[in-house]
Amino acid sequence: MKVSGEALMGDQSYGIDMNTAERIAEEVGAAVKAGYEMCLVIGGGNIFRGLQAAAKGMDRAAADYMGMLATVMNALAMQTALERRGVQTRVQSAIPMTTVCEPYIRRRAVRHMEKGRVVIFAAGTGNPFFTTDTAAALRAAEMGCDALFKGTQVDGVYSADPKKDPNAERYDQLDYLDVIARDLKVMDASAVTLMRDNQIPIVVFDIQKTNGLADVLDGRGVCTVVGPKPAQKR
């Protein structure tokens, strides 16, 4: 599951609202107890945005590395919230910092998940010029995930921002190529392409809704599924 950094802000304008983190942790914990293997990627936009800093004159690579460090802070906060609920959690960082978390090792991450632990992948891909969306897609492919869930502020994918455009059209299902061709702001193009190449569906849902994750996992929730185009009936 990919969670944006902004989702952790709650009603604040900056930083981590631990009440919000606790609520998301409650949902993830419920999914684990229901038997699902879960891994997470959390963005860092609630603390630092590399792209915005670069636009103001900061070196892009340095700005992106700072953004990666912000994702580590969010990952540690989410780990704390999950472990308060008795959910064993491991944070693995693409940038080695062994004092606070494990380095990213794919086979170790797979083993953690097999043991019922939640793995939070921090520091993006470990490389500048790549978003945490791409990191989430990459980890989903590496872990052999059945689906990539993206928790957003709305209940699916729209033709425009529904908070600004009341006439925005909501989609129940989209093909990967539709997302790219229409420039829909689901995930960046490299992430969508990676999911297309590995035939992993992207499920976009409202992370702010109580029990939103559980409802979508049960097939009852409102969401948009981005996946292979359905075969035409003859």
Show me where the domains of the chain are located: 2-227
Decide: 7 and 88 in contact? Cβ < 8 Å: no
pLDDT value of residue 103: 98
Which residues participate in the annotated binding site for UMP? 44, 64, 125-132
pTM score of the predicted model: 0.94
pLDDT value of residue 230: 61
Which residues participate in the annotated binding site? 2-5, 44-45, 49, 64, 125-132, 152-153, 158, 161
Which residues participate in the annotated binding site for ATP? 2-5, 45, 49, 152-153, 158, 161
In this structure, CATH architecture of domain 2-227: 3-Layer(aba) Sandwich (3.40)
Q: What residue spans of the chain are helical by DSSP H? A: 18-33, 50-55, 60-83, 106-114, 132-143, 176-181, 189-197, 212-217
pLDDT value of residue 163: 86
CA distance 66 to 56: 15
pLDDT value of residue 4: 93
pLDDT value of residue 49: 93
pLDDT value of residue 153: 87
Number of H helices, E strands in the chain: 8, 11
Q: Could you state, in chain order, the average pLDDT of each consecutive group of 10 residues for the chain (234 residues)?
A: 94 94 96 96 96 95 97 98 97 97 98 97 97 98 98 92 91 95 92 97 94 94 89 50
